[in-house]
Structure 1
Amino acid sequence: MADDYPYMISNNKISPIIDAIHSAAKPSKFSHEFLKQIGFSSSNDRAVIPLFKRLGFIAENGAPTNFYDDLKDTTKRASALGARIRDLYSELYAINTKIHNANEDVIKGAMSRVTGKDAVSVSRYYMTFKTLCGLAKFDAPQIQHEESIEPPPVKVKENGGATTEVPQMAAPSQAGFHYNIQIHLPATTDISVYNAIFKSLKDNLII
């Protein structure tokens, strides 16, 4: 269970800060000093640093991550935000997969149950969450999985106590079958039994 969620008092600064990140060179460390350099010197603006750390845009040591590069790219920014929001608020999405579209009462109720925090804290979490969601896209295409159908096994004549079951497998790029033969040999010290089994396989299977 999440203990809390990050929040900013000045949520209206999130979008301008992201815009400034796009224009500025990528820093070696996303610090208070860097925020001042891009025009955000208020003490309330500093809350964006722990927020970006929790979202995965900044590492714990302040270094920008690969996700930060996506935040700088205007073609990837909204989708990157959507993906990071889903990750940070995964427990909310476990409750409602479309929690970003839910109304205030539903979101706050979920946040309260997940964090166990009071109404004031939950309201702060909610405002930051909704601000982020307003900048994000959540309609990334889903991965398509191809269905595979396993053909029935081919039966091979049993001989000399040997049991063979041959699964039929269609080759992906050409016609025909591939066979996986499993032979269960009888326990015996008579080598002639084994010779007879393998001779029968050779006579009855086309390889």
Structure 2
Amino acid sequence: MALATSYLVATNKLDDIFNALLSAKAPSSLTTGFLKTLGFTSSNDALYVRLFKDLGLIDSSNVPTEKYFRFLDQAESKKVIAECIEEAYSDLFALNKKANELSEADVKGKFKTLTQGTKEDNIINLMAKTFKALCDYADWTSKSSIKPPDTPETKTTKSQEPSVEVPIIAGHKKGINPSLHYNIEIHLPETRDTAVYDAIFKSLKEHLF
């Protein structure tokens, strides 16, 4: 579980910075210096670096992550950001699965509860504004089509459920019970003594009929 506590003082540049990142070559390290090369030189712009860390776009050393490279695919960018938001604010989404649809006032209330009063009201307000700005940018209509490889647990489908094969008996038709016929061959010894034959047939009658 997690709750991102980073915030922006002003969110009006959020779309511009995301678009600038999409147009630029991925940096080896995303720092305030890199943002300055993109034209974002304000001290407030430096706050984006910490926000990107909370979103999982860069690691603790400011190095772009796998999520960042997925974000660079413009067909997936806003979907990836939606995934990042859900993970970075998982505590909030645990309270409301559709937290992205909450009003700013409702988000403030939830943040106060989740931070247990450890944040001042002005910080809570900025956190809520930042969350709402991110949600407005993200695409919530569907998740990213790029998914991690399936695990054995996620591969189970109906087609893989165990099935029972019913053996088919040759000559058997639906509604008709099959019947069995036995042909027994007896090789009689050569003899003129009829008593021998009588004994054989008597034994067959007792054991087979």
TM-score range with shorter-chain normalisation?
0.5 to 0.7
Which runs of 4 or more aligned residues in structure 1 lie more than 4 Å from their structure 2 counterparts after TM superposition?
1-4, 141-150
Provide the residue aligned with 2:69 in structure 1: 69
The CA distance in 1 between the partners of 2:38 and 2:125, in whole Å, is: 29
Q: Give me the TM-score of the superposition, normalised by structure 1.
A: 0.68
Provide the residue aligned with 2:142 in structure 1: 140
How large is the Cα RMSD of the aligned pairs?
2.6
> Which residue identity lines up with residue 132 of structure 2 in the other structure?
K
Contact 2:78 2:139 in 1 (8 A): yes
Provide the residue aligned with 1:189 in structure 2: none
After superposition, the Cα gap between the structure-2 partners of 1:145 and 1:30, relative to the gap in structure 1 and judged at 3 Å, is same
Q: Which runs of 5+ in 2 are unaligned?
A: 145-153, 168-209
The CA distance in 2 between the partners of 1:69 and 1:41, in whole Å, is: 24
The question of 1:101 aligning with 2:101 is answered: yes
Measured after TM superposition, the shift of residue 149 of structure 1 is: 10
Alpha-carbon deviations, 1:30-73, whole Å to 9, x = none? 01211111110111100000000010001111111111112222
The CA distance in 2 between the partners of 1:13 and 1:59, in whole Å, is: 22
Measured after TM superposition, the shift of residue 121 of structure 1 is: 1.3
Measured after TM superposition, the shift of residue 146 of structure 1 is: 4.2
After superposition, the Cα gap between the structure-2 partners of 1:148 and 1:95, relative to the gap in structure 1 and judged at 3 Å, is farther
Provide the residue aligned with 1:125 in structure 2: 127
The CA distance in 2 between the partners of 1:141 and 1:13, in whole Å, is: 24
The CA distance in 2 between the partners of 1:110 and 1:68, in whole Å, is: 28
Contact 2:56 2:84 in 1 (8 A): yes
Matches within 5 A, 1:29-44: 29-44=29-44
The question of 1:115 aligning with 2:108 is answered: no
> Which residue identity lines up with residue 38 of structure 1 in the other structure?
L
After superposition, the Cα gap between the structure-2 partners of 1:4 and 1:22, relative to the gap in structure 1 and judged at 3 Å, is closer
After superposition, the Cα gap between the structure-2 partners of 1:4 and 1:146, relative to the gap in structure 1 and judged at 3 Å, is closer
The question of 1:170 aligning with 2:163 is answered: yes
Deviates more, 1:3-12 or 1:33-42: 3-12
Structure number with the bigger relative contact order (C-alpha 8 A, sep ≥ 6) is 2
CA radius of gyration, larger in: 2
DSSP 3-state at the match of 2:6 = coil
Alpha-carbon deviations, 1:114-173, whole Å to 9, x = none? 0132321110100100000001122336999745898xxxxxxxxxxxxxxxxxx516xx
The CA distance in 1 between the partners of 2:3 and 2:102, in whole Å, is: 22
Contact 1:18 1:72 in 2 (8 A): no
Percent identity, aligned pairs only? 32
Q: Which has the larger share of strand?
A: 1
